[in-house]
């Protein structure tokens, strides 16, 4: 009998420890493992500062890019002042931070004003502090510069160096005046071939507008839609073909994500192992096995000359 015999344990002839059949553990106090917590403790922890900033931005329907910029500036401001809470700082810290951006980092006036806008939002909307010195802060004066406009031959030389869908997208940017993100998020239903116009949804400032459809791009754009439709039909047969819907339309119209009108004119080529495609925060579910086909679709070499 070994040294553990008094507690009901024994080492057998093989040297392995076992339990006796007549061993019964002592009853334990059910409250012995409970930690003492104060009665006034809140079970839900208070959200962190940056989480509160994101929540306030999304309640006010700020764009995702504005949210990312504001969060970066607020994090940089807090780290520059030794991780102190903004409620413990005032005009001295804010003015010093903005002056350091201009003197040491040599940022432009627009960048400095963007940092100031982020700090104003932090104190007013998040911290709920209305301080008089916020209005007295000096904003950087933006210089007036002449825009750089390419000549027609320069634009033509650039388009000749592009091929496939990339060339079509660049031609649309030049011919319609759309921004890059607006062109990348263009949907099939927003192209009106009868009216020769394109509807831009949720552009800059969340404003919709109409722009013209160049006649030179019409046959090329129709061919692009035919290729996208063939790919979409293949994805539907494979159990995919779903695109993300804006805001809460996915709950209001659960099956609209499979409809042809909501499909992207220029589908993203990146597909994860779970069969999803990402574009500016949206998730697009397709067939994972169609990754190679989507890559060829995005860089189609056979682009007709214009």
- Alpha-carbon distances, residue 133 vs 75, 77, 211 (angstroms): 21, 17, 44
Residues of the chain with CATH 1.10.150.130: 49-134
- If the chain, 306 residues long, is cut into consecutive pieces of 10 residues, what is the mean pLDDT of each piece? 47 48 52 44 74 93 90 94 89 86 85 90 87 65 82 91 93 93 93 93 85 93 94 85 82 88 85 43 38 33 36
CB 159 within 8 A of CB 167: yes
Q: What pLDDT does 44 receive?
A: 67
Task: Name residues whose C-beta falls within 8 Å of residue 21's C-beta, 6 or more positions apart in sequence.
Answer: none
β-bridge partners, 278: 283
- Report the alpha-carbon distance of residue 240 to residue 257 in Å, rounded: 10
Closest CA to 138 of 167, 112, 165: 112
β-bridge partners, 197: 192, 212
Q: Tell me, what DSSP letter sits at residue 274?
A: T
**Domain 49-134 falls in which CATH fold?**
DNA polymerase; domain 1 (1.10.150)
260: tokens are: 């042809």
Backbone φ, ψ for residue 265 (5° rounding): -70, -35
| pTM score | 0.61
Residues of the chain with CATH 1.10.443.10: 152-219
Q: What pLDDT does 239 receive?
A: 80
Mention the CATH class of domain 152-219: mainly alpha
Closest CA to 57 of 134, 143, 124: 124
CB 135 within 8 A of CB 119: no
Closest CA to 203 of 176, 222, 229, 230: 176
């Amino acid at each position: 009998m070994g040294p553990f015999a008094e507690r009901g344990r024994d080492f057998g002839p093989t040297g392995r420890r076992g339990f006796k059949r007549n061993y019964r553990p002592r009853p334990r106090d059910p409250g012995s493992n409970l930690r003492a917590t104060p009665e006034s403790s809140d079970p839900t922890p208070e959200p962190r500062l940056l989480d509160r900033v994101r929540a306030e931005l999304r309640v006010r329907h700020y764009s995702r890019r504005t949210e990312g910029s504001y969060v970066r500036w607020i994090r940089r401001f807090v780290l520059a002042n030794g991780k102190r809470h903004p409620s413990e700082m005032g005009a001295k810290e804010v003015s010093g931070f903005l002056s350091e951006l201009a003197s040491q980092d040599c940022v432009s006036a627009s960048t400095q004003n963007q940092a100031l806008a982020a700090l104003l939002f932090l104190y007013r909307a998040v911290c709920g502090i209305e301080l008089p010195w916020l209005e007295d802060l000096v904003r950087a004066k933006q210089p007036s510069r002449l825009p750089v406009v390419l000549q027609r031959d320069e634009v033509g030389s650039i388009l000749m160096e592009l091929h496939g869908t990339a060339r079509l997208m660049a031609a649309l940017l030049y011919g319609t005046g759309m921004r890059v993100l607006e062109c990348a998020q263009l949907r099939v239903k927003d192209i009106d071939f009868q009216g020769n116009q394109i509807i831009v949804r949720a552009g800059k400032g969340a404003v919709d507008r109409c722009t013209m459809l160049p006649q030179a791009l019409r046959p090329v754009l129709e061919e692009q839609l035919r290729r996208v439709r063939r790919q979409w039909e293949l994805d539907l047969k494979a159990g995919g073909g779903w695109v993300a819907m804006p805001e809460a339309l996915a709950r209001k119209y659960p099956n609209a994500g499979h409809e042809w009108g909501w499909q992207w004119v220029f589908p993203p080529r990146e597909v994860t192992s779970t069969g999803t495609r990402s574009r500016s925060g949206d998730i697009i579910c397709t067939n994972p096995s169609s990754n190679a086909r989507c890559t060829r679709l995005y860089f189609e070499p056979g682009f007709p000359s214009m």
